Amino acid sequence: MPTQRRTGLIIPVPAADRLLDAVRERHRGAVRDVPAHVSVLYPFLPAEELDDSVAASLREVFAAHRPTEVEFATCHRRPGFVGLLPEPPDVLDALAAATRRRWPSMLPYGGAFGEDPGAHLTVAMGTGEATSAEIEAEVGGWLPLRARLETAWLVVYDGAWMVHSIFPFGG
Protein backbone atom coordinates (compact mmCIF):
# COMPACT_ATOMS: atom_id res chain seq x y z
CA MET A 1 0.00 0.00 0.00
CA PRO A 2 1.36 3.46 -0.84
CA THR A 3 2.43 5.93 1.81
CA GLN A 4 -0.05 8.66 2.71
CA ARG A 5 0.36 11.83 0.64
CA ARG A 6 2.60 10.04 -1.89
CA THR A 7 2.20 11.33 -5.44
CA GLY A 8 2.69 10.05 -8.96
CA LEU A 9 2.50 11.20 -12.56
CA ILE A 10 0.45 8.88 -14.73
CA ILE A 11 -1.07 8.78 -18.20
CA PRO A 12 -4.59 7.36 -18.00
CA VAL A 13 -5.49 4.57 -20.42
CA PRO A 14 -9.30 4.29 -20.22
CA ALA A 15 -9.29 1.68 -22.99
CA ALA A 16 -7.75 -0.78 -20.50
CA ASP A 17 -10.09 -0.11 -17.56
CA ARG A 18 -12.47 -2.96 -18.44
CA LEU A 19 -9.54 -5.37 -18.68
CA LEU A 20 -8.28 -4.36 -15.24
CA ASP A 21 -11.80 -4.63 -13.82
CA ALA A 22 -12.09 -8.19 -15.17
CA VAL A 23 -8.73 -9.20 -13.66
CA ARG A 24 -9.60 -7.45 -10.38
CA GLU A 25 -12.87 -9.39 -10.18
CA ARG A 26 -11.18 -12.78 -10.63
CA HIS A 27 -7.99 -12.07 -8.68
CA ARG A 28 -8.73 -9.98 -5.59
CA GLY A 29 -5.79 -7.84 -4.48
CA ALA A 30 -3.79 -8.29 -7.69
CA VAL A 31 -4.90 -5.04 -9.34
CA ARG A 32 -4.23 -1.68 -7.70
CA ASP A 33 -7.10 0.70 -6.95
CA VAL A 34 -6.18 3.25 -9.59
CA PRO A 35 -7.51 3.51 -13.17
CA ALA A 36 -5.53 1.84 -15.94
CA HIS A 37 -2.46 3.94 -16.68
CA VAL A 38 1.16 4.15 -17.74
CA SER A 39 3.36 5.64 -15.03
CA VAL A 40 5.48 8.61 -16.02
CA LEU A 41 7.15 9.02 -12.63
CA TYR A 42 6.26 7.28 -9.39
CA PRO A 43 6.86 8.31 -6.73
CA PHE A 44 6.86 11.99 -7.58
CA LEU A 45 7.39 14.90 -5.18
CA PRO A 46 5.86 14.74 -1.71
CA ALA A 47 2.36 16.25 -1.76
CA GLU A 48 3.50 19.04 0.55
CA GLU A 49 5.92 20.26 -2.15
CA LEU A 50 3.28 20.63 -4.86
CA ASP A 51 2.89 24.31 -5.66
CA ASP A 52 2.25 26.66 -8.57
CA SER A 53 5.83 26.39 -9.86
CA VAL A 54 5.62 22.58 -9.96
CA ALA A 55 2.28 22.81 -11.80
CA ALA A 56 3.75 25.29 -14.29
CA SER A 57 6.73 23.00 -14.93
CA LEU A 58 4.45 20.01 -15.45
CA ARG A 59 2.24 21.97 -17.86
CA GLU A 60 5.37 22.87 -19.83
CA VAL A 61 6.69 19.29 -19.92
CA PHE A 62 3.42 17.73 -21.08
CA ALA A 63 2.49 20.54 -23.50
CA ALA A 64 5.76 19.84 -25.34
CA HIS A 65 4.47 16.38 -26.32
CA ARG A 66 1.67 15.59 -28.74
CA PRO A 67 -1.24 13.27 -28.05
CA THR A 68 -0.35 9.83 -29.33
CA GLU A 69 -1.92 6.57 -30.40
CA VAL A 70 -0.50 3.42 -28.85
CA GLU A 71 -1.29 -0.25 -29.04
CA PHE A 72 -0.88 -2.74 -26.23
CA ALA A 73 -0.42 -6.08 -27.98
CA THR A 74 2.24 -7.70 -25.81
CA CYS A 75 1.79 -9.01 -22.29
CA HIS A 76 4.95 -9.17 -20.18
CA ARG A 77 5.24 -11.35 -17.08
CA ARG A 78 7.91 -11.72 -14.44
CA PRO A 79 7.66 -12.96 -10.85
CA GLY A 80 4.89 -11.01 -9.12
CA PHE A 81 4.14 -8.78 -12.11
CA VAL A 82 1.98 -8.80 -15.24
CA GLY A 83 1.99 -5.79 -17.56
CA LEU A 84 1.29 -4.62 -21.09
CA LEU A 85 3.97 -3.07 -23.28
CA PRO A 86 2.99 -0.09 -25.48
CA GLU A 87 3.88 0.18 -29.15
CA PRO A 88 5.46 2.44 -30.03
CA PRO A 89 7.09 3.12 -26.66
CA ASP A 90 9.07 6.17 -27.89
CA VAL A 91 6.59 8.92 -26.94
CA LEU A 92 6.00 7.50 -23.46
CA ASP A 93 9.71 6.96 -22.87
CA ALA A 94 10.37 10.55 -24.02
CA LEU A 95 7.78 11.89 -21.56
CA ALA A 96 9.35 9.92 -18.72
CA ALA A 97 12.83 11.12 -19.71
CA ALA A 98 11.70 14.77 -19.90
CA THR A 99 10.14 14.51 -16.45
CA ARG A 100 13.25 12.89 -14.98
CA ARG A 101 15.43 15.62 -16.51
CA ARG A 102 13.27 18.24 -14.76
CA TRP A 103 13.38 16.35 -11.43
CA PRO A 104 16.60 14.30 -11.58
CA SER A 105 16.50 13.34 -7.90
CA MET A 106 13.21 11.49 -8.39
CA LEU A 107 13.99 7.94 -9.52
CA PRO A 108 11.18 5.81 -10.95
CA TYR A 109 9.97 3.37 -8.30
CA GLY A 110 12.66 4.71 -5.98
CA GLY A 111 15.33 3.14 -8.21
CA ALA A 112 14.10 -0.42 -7.55
CA PHE A 113 14.08 -1.21 -11.30
CA GLY A 114 16.92 1.04 -12.46
CA GLU A 115 16.78 4.54 -13.85
CA ASP A 116 14.67 3.58 -16.87
CA PRO A 117 12.19 0.77 -16.21
CA GLY A 118 10.50 1.33 -19.59
CA ALA A 119 6.92 2.29 -20.30
CA HIS A 120 4.30 -0.28 -19.33
CA LEU A 121 0.74 -0.61 -18.12
CA THR A 122 0.64 -2.65 -14.92
CA VAL A 123 -2.13 -5.24 -14.91
CA ALA A 124 -1.27 -7.11 -11.69
CA MET A 125 1.34 -6.99 -8.94
CA GLY A 126 2.25 -9.12 -5.94
CA THR A 127 0.95 -12.34 -7.43
CA GLY A 128 2.49 -15.79 -7.25
CA GLU A 129 3.87 -17.46 -10.35
CA ALA A 130 0.77 -19.60 -10.99
CA THR A 131 -1.58 -16.62 -10.62
CA SER A 132 0.65 -14.45 -12.81
CA ALA A 133 0.61 -17.12 -15.53
CA GLU A 134 -3.18 -17.41 -15.26
CA ILE A 135 -3.60 -13.63 -15.53
CA GLU A 136 -1.24 -13.50 -18.51
CA ALA A 137 -3.37 -16.13 -20.29
CA GLU A 138 -6.59 -14.23 -19.50
CA VAL A 139 -5.14 -10.93 -20.70
CA GLY A 140 -4.28 -12.40 -24.10
CA GLY A 141 -7.96 -12.51 -25.01
CA TRP A 142 -8.23 -8.74 -24.58
CA LEU A 143 -5.30 -7.85 -26.83
CA PRO A 144 -4.59 -5.83 -28.78
CA LEU A 145 -5.88 -2.74 -26.98
CA ARG A 146 -5.60 0.58 -28.78
CA ALA A 147 -5.61 3.90 -26.98
CA ARG A 148 -5.23 7.59 -27.66
CA LEU A 149 -3.20 9.21 -24.89
CA GLU A 150 -3.95 12.91 -24.43
CA THR A 151 -3.36 13.87 -20.81
CA ALA A 152 -1.23 13.20 -17.78
CA TRP A 153 -2.57 13.17 -14.25
CA LEU A 154 -0.84 14.16 -11.06
CA VAL A 155 -2.34 11.81 -8.48
CA VAL A 156 -2.10 11.92 -4.69
CA TYR A 157 -2.65 9.03 -2.31
CA ASP A 158 -4.64 10.04 0.75
CA GLY A 159 -6.27 6.75 1.72
CA ALA A 160 -7.25 6.38 -1.95
CA TRP A 161 -5.72 7.66 -5.17
CA MET A 162 -7.21 10.99 -6.22
CA VAL A 163 -6.52 13.17 -9.25
CA HIS A 164 -4.85 16.38 -8.09
CA SER A 165 -4.23 17.99 -11.51
CA ILE A 166 -4.65 17.19 -15.19
CA PHE A 167 -2.09 18.24 -17.81
CA PRO A 168 -3.10 18.06 -21.49
CA PHE A 169 -0.53 17.13 -24.07
CA GLY A 170 0.27 19.82 -26.63
CA GLY A 171 -0.35 19.45 -30.25
> Which domains occur in the chain, in start order?
7-168 (3.90.1140.10)
Closest CA to 81 of 109, 53, 55, 47: 109
Order of strands across the sheet with 68-78?
Answer: 145-149, 68-78, 81-87, 121-125, 37-41, 7-12, 151-157, 161-168
Length of the chain: 171
Mean pLDDT per 10-residue interval, the chain, length 171 residues:
82 98 96 94 95 98 97 94 96 93 84 70 96 96 98 95 97 65
pTM, two decimals, is 0.92
